[in-house]
């Protein structure tokens, strides 16, 4: 009986084993016929600590497609899982967090590359210092898609990079994300004097990084942080860049980069350095130069240039097509804020037969402060920008709804229509253009003068139309002594000023139409045509000088010029009162004199009062009463301290004369104020302190008088000092001094730190200075 039971048990066991084998075979077959992705799967995360004995902590974690993109997994064709395949499947189903310190570094990096202890999708948590030296090299090549973080916010990657050339051939030690590292996210790391590369990679995010290059040659020919070699869909966001005296190299670079986003970064330059944000074709091998840096977005960045302009340093410099530059603020004292790359940058790139294509770039809603200039690339669309420096207009571009200071068209032989409309600008210079180029300025408000500059011998400044503008200044051919002008049309404008054409001996004008304009001149003529003019038509204008009207206000000494049908008739206009305001220049807080001249024909007005207006509102005294200035000897003068509000771009002044006896009421034209912020200097001494010691940062802010306005922020190696809640600490200036008590934290190491102080308010320009904090034992 027992033998029968034993036999039955054995038979049942065999059946059970066969059944389980069938189930397993079915499962394997299902796996082989299905590709498993990382979308909404539950994984096990393993956190590995610093010790050499690996311990694991199981954490259930749900991932989505927004996390690292892992390689898809499938089985081999013979429906059998080999040992290697099974191991790969198991590893990929786990996410591990590795704690990376300078003592565990070699556990995860071999010859600078991630080794087999790190799998795609893992997290590398960097903690502490990584200082490269002759004994320790922390060069890193991220060759797998991973997440890189600094959970304790105490990472310091200082590879002591030193570039040895200007062509990118010897960049020095670096942090590199390679093509195999596509899909990597880097968040919260701190880099000091370290070269950063993203090479031929895609879908990489660099977020909340601090990248400092201080007095060290990093980024020779390539840039300190360089996105390059056909990299795409790279995001650089919320990062802080500070570059100081690095030998003339750029801070943030895209070199053959497309579909990338550079958003909400702060980029600060000081001393001798290169471009701050640069899309370039230099020192990168591009097979087809017709497609270089395309479809990139440069948005919401704050860019601060050095205190003095440099020929090798631009705020944003680009080459490529279909890029968007939007909502950026650039403050660069009289420097180039936005500009196209100089030269082709071809070098060894491509086959040498292609031409770089730059077109369809959009530049909108940017603010360029402190005299920063703009020169948009050719064939760009530029609108809703504010530019306080010079705007250089290239061929093929369209500008509209901008507030501009000085505007110039670039001389050249390239073809393309230039259209400039609905802008407000102060002064305009029109330079030589190609014969097939048409330039139109329409519906603009021009608060200053227009210069139509003659072209050199053999060329003409031609095919220019100036139509339907309000021009509050003169039109002339400038100070050039030689050159040619032809085929210019000036029509349907309202002009408060005079036209003086070909005033220099060797300037020739042949062919111009001046029609349907209203011209009011403060002098005894409206238009002067010198002996160097020919074939100019002056017709159907309303011409009024301070003595007469119509045709007789035109002085014609040229050949074959026609002056006909200009009004109004002398019977319609008699002598009238005229009010002119002298230019107003000054600084906030200084005393300026506002002068108005009041005339009645040739008669100087005595009597009556003038009220000055700013942006249409009457100037009042401290009690709120309108200030009325007496007119004596044809003059009304008001001394006044310049308020902050007058420094706003585009602020205008006008004057209203109330009349007196036979002198009738009159109003001046609008004139633009030229008011600037004040400048200061900062005195900031070096400090030596021990860890745990409480010290005082003290900066002295000086001007011609004691300063008790504005605030100062202090930064250590580029990071703003914050309070316990994480908010930046703003120190109020009192009697010209700002002080801050600071306790050296235990997390700081014994070395020198760069301490930076930044001052500014609505009266003074931004000012900064830096010194050294030496932390000792």
Q: What pLDDT does residue 39 have?
A: 29
CB 391 within 8 A of CB 374: yes
Give the C-alpha separation, 517 to 270, whole Å: 49
Number of other residues whose CB lies within 10 A of the CB of residue 310:
18
Please identify every stretch of the chain with a pLDDT value under 70, giving residue numbers as ranges.
1-93, 344-354, 411-415, 432-436, 456-460, 569-575
Provide the CATH number for the domain formed by 577-673 in this structure: 2.60.40.10
Instruction: Report the distance separating Cα 641 and Cα 593, nearest Å.
Output: 9
Summarised one tens digit per residue, pLDDT across range 275-321 is 999 999 999 999 888 889 999 999 999 999 999 999 999 999 999 99
Give the pLDDT confidence score for residue 495 in this predicted structure: 94
Q: What is the dihedral of CA 235, 241, 247, 249, to 10 degrees?
A: 20
pLDDT for 233 = 99
- Please count the other Cβ atoms lying within 10 Å of the Cβ belonging to residue 490: 28
Residue ranges in 643-755 assigned as alpha helix (H) = none
Residue 5's contacts (CB-CB under 8 Å, 6 or more residues apart) are: none
Residue with tokens 């609905």: 422
First to last CA, the chain: 88
Q: Is the distance from CB of 124 to CB of 146 less than 8 angstroms?
A: yes
Backbone angles phi, psi at 766, to 5 degrees: -55, 135
pLDDT of residue 414: 61
CATH topology of domain 681-776: Immunoglobulin-like (2.60.40)
* pTM passes above 0.85: no
Tell me what pLDDT residue 45 has: 39
- Measured distance CA(402)–CA(716) in Å, rounded: 38
Residue 666 bridge partners (DSSP): 657
Kindly give the pairing relationship between strand 210-214 and strand 190-192: parallel
What is the model's pLDDT at position 650? Answer: 80
pLDDT in tens, 504-519: 778 888 899 999 999 9
Which DSSP letter does residue 5 get? H
Q: Which residue has the tokens 């936005």?
A: 338
């Amino acid at each position: 009986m027992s033998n029968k039971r034993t036999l039955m048990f054995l038979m049942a066991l065999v059946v059970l084993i066969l059944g389980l084998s069938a189930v397993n075979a079915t499962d394997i077959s299902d796996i082989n016929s299905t590709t498993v992705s990382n979308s909404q799967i539950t994984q096990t995360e393993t956190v590995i600590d610093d010790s050499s004995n690996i311990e694991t902590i199981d954490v259930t974690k749900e991932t989505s497609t927004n996390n690292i993109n892992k390689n898809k997994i499938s089985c081999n064709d013979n429906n059998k899982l080999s040992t290697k395949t099974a191991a790969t499947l198991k590893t990929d189903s786990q996410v591990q967090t590795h704690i990376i310190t300078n003592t565990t570094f070699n556990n995860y990096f071999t010859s600078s590359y991630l080794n087999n202890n790190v799998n795609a999708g893992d997290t590398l948590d960097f903690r502490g210092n990584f200082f490269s030296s002759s004994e320790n090299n922390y060069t890193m090549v991220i060759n797998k898609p991973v997440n890189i973080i600094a959970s304790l916010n105490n990472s310091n990657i200082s590879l002591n990079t030193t570039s040895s050339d200007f062509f990118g051939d010897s960049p020095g030690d670096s942090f590199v994300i390679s093509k195999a590292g596509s899909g990597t996210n880097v968040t919260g790391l701190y880099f000091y004097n370290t070269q950063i590369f993203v090479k031929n990679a895609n879908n990489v995010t660099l977020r909340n990084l601090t990248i400092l290059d201080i007095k060290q040659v990093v980024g020779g020919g390539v840039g300190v942080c360089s996105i390059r070699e056909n990299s795409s869909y790279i995001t650089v966001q919320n990062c802080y860049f500070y570059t100081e005296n690095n030998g003339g190299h750029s801070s943030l670079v895209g070199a053959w980069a497309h579909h990338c986003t550079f958003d909400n970064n702060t980029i600060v330059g000081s001393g001798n350095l290169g471009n701050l944000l640069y899309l370039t074709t230099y020192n990168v091998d591009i097979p087809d130069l017709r497609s270089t840096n395309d479809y990139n977005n440069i948005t919401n960045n704050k860019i601060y240039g050095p205190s003095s302009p440099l020929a090798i340093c631009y705020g944003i410099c680009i080459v490529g097509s279909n890029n968007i530059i939007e909502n950026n603020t650039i403050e660069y004292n009289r420097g180039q804020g936005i500009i196209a790359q100089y030269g082709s940058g071809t070098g060894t790139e491509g086959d040498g037969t292609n031409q770089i294509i730059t077109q369809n770039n959009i530049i909108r809603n940017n603010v360029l402060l402190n005299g920063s200039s703009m020169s948009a690339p050719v064939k760009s669309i530029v609108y809703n920008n504010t530019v306080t420096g010079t705007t250089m207009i290239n061929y093929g571009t369209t500008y509209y709804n901008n507030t501009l200071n000085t505007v110039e068209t670039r001389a050249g032989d390239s073809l393309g229509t230039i259209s400039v409309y609905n802008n407000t600008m102060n002064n305009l210079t029109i330079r030589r253009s190609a014969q097939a180029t048409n330039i139109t300025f329409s519906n603009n408000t021009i608060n200053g003068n227009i210069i139509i500059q003659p072209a050199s011998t053999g060329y003409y400044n031609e095919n220019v139309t100036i139509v339907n503008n309000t021009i509050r200044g003169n039109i002339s051919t400038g100070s050039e002594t030689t050159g040619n002008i032809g085929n210019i049309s000036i029509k349907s404008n309202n002009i408060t000023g005079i036209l003086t054409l070909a005033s220099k001996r060797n300037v020739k004008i042949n062919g111009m139409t001046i029609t349907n304009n209203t011209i009011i001149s403060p002098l005894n003529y409206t238009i002067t045509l010198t002996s160097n003019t020919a074939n100019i038509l002056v017709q159907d204008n309303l011409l009024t000088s301070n003595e007469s009207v119509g045709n007789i206000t035109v002085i014609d000494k040229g050949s074959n010029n026609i002056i006909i049908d200009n009004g109004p008739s002398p019977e319609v206009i008699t002598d009238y009162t005229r009010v002119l305001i002298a230019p107003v220049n000054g600084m906030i807080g200084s005393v300026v004199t506002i002068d108005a001249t009041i005339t009645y024909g040739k008669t100087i007005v005595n009597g009556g009062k003038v009220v000055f207006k700013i942006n249409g509102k009457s100037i009042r005294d401290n009690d709120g009463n309108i200030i009325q200035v007496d007119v004596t000897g044809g003059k009304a003068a008001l001394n006044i301290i310049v308020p902050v509000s007058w420094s706003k771009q585009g602020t205008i002044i006008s004057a209203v004369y109330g009349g007196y006896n036979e002198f009738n009421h009159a109003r001046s034209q609008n004139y633009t104020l030229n008011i600037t912020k004040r400048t200061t200097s900062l005195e900031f001494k070096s400090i030596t302190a021990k860890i745990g010691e409480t010290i005082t940062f003290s900066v002295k802010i000086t001007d011609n008088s004691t300063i008790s306005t504005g605030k100062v922020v202090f930064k250590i190696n580029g990071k703003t000092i914050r309070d316990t809640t994480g908010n930046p600490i703003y120190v109020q200036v009192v009697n010209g001094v700002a002080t801050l008590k600071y306790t050296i934290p235990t997390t700081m190491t014994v070395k020198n730190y760069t301490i930076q102080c930044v001052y500014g308010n609505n009266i003074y320009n931004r000012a900064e200075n830096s010194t050294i904090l030496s932390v000792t034992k």
